[in-house]
Amino acid sequence: MAGTGRVEAQRAKLSVAPVSIPSMSSPKDDLVRYLDEARNAVVWKVDGLDEYTARRPATDTGTNLLGLVKHLTSCELTYFAQTFDRPTRDLAYLDAFDPWENEDMWARADENRADVVERYRRVCAHSNDVVTELSLDDTGRVPHWPEDRATVTLHHILIRMIAETNRHAGQADVIREGFDGATGHQEGSSSLPPGDRVWWEQYVSRIESAARQASR
């Protein structure tokens, strides 16, 4: 039991900013809040980087931070504007590249980073307008899905986009930390133990040691 007490004491030290959760929020409001948190995290991970670092490939398959913003822009347009037939001037963006060639996963040299981010914010705002207009049970049609499952509810799409956006936010977390050591779950909330450099070096060393012992 003493060990449990130590664990709880350590958890109490976590530098996590309090999260304000509405006491009478609706299920739809909850879904939008979690989606907005993930959207904001993705944009935050691009903030403060030079042009090269924001765009450069970080993996052998080319994953890059600004490309994640572009990709999520196309997802928002497809799953909200197109699926529920709520046009926006930004729909023309989908005609500017071939998603099956991964052209929405990286930024050309002539694409302005501020424009890419601003488009994403604008498209997300439009998506939220679509959500406001509809009920969770309202249906739409995903244009590129097989006919037998193309008809979806708004509830389904909100959950899908929460999963999609958080998946890419997680990629952005790892990429950004690898670039300059910046970490954090949300701006102003690290969700990490408040250790200094020495603490983290010792922590990583323990993990490395355990991994090596397990592999023997």
User: Per residue of the chain (216 residues), what is the pLDDT tens digit?
Assistant: 444 444 444 444 433 444 455 557 899 999 999 999 999 999 999 999 999 999 999 999 999 999 999 999 999 999 999 999 999 999 999 998 887 789 999 999 999 999 999 999 999 999 999 999 999 999 999 999 999 999 999 999 999 999 999 999 999 999 999 999 989 877 767 777 888 889 888 989 999 999 999 998
DSSP H stretches of helix in 47-87 = 51-55, 65-76
In 3D space, the residue among 174, 199, 152, 168 whose CA is nearest the CA of residue 105 turns out to be: 168
CA distances from 145 to 83, 140, 142, 150, 212 (A): 10, 12, 6, 5, 45
Cα–Cα distance, 99 to 109 (Å, whole number): 18
Q: What is the pTM of this model?
A: 0.85
- pLDDT at position 23 is 57
- pLDDT at position 8 is 44
Cα–Cα distance, 78 to 120 (Å, whole number): 13
- pLDDT at position 87 is 95
- pLDDT at position 209 is 95
Residue environment code for 81-98, b if the CB has 16+ CB neighbours within 10 A, otherwise e: bbbbebebebeebbeebe
Cα–Cα distance, 158 to 32 (Å, whole number): 7
How do the domains of the chain map onto residue ranges? 25-214
CATH of 25-214, one of 3.40.50.1220, 3.30.360.10, 3.90.70.10, 1.20.120.450: 1.20.120.450
- pLDDT at position 155 is 99
- pLDDT at position 22 is 53
- pLDDT at position 10 is 44
Whose structure tokens read 């003493």? 2
- pLDDT at position 14 is 38
Cα–Cα distance, 166 to 169 (Å, whole number): 5
- pLDDT at position 12 is 43
Cα–Cα distance, 201 to 190 (Å, whole number): 18
- pLDDT at position 97 is 83
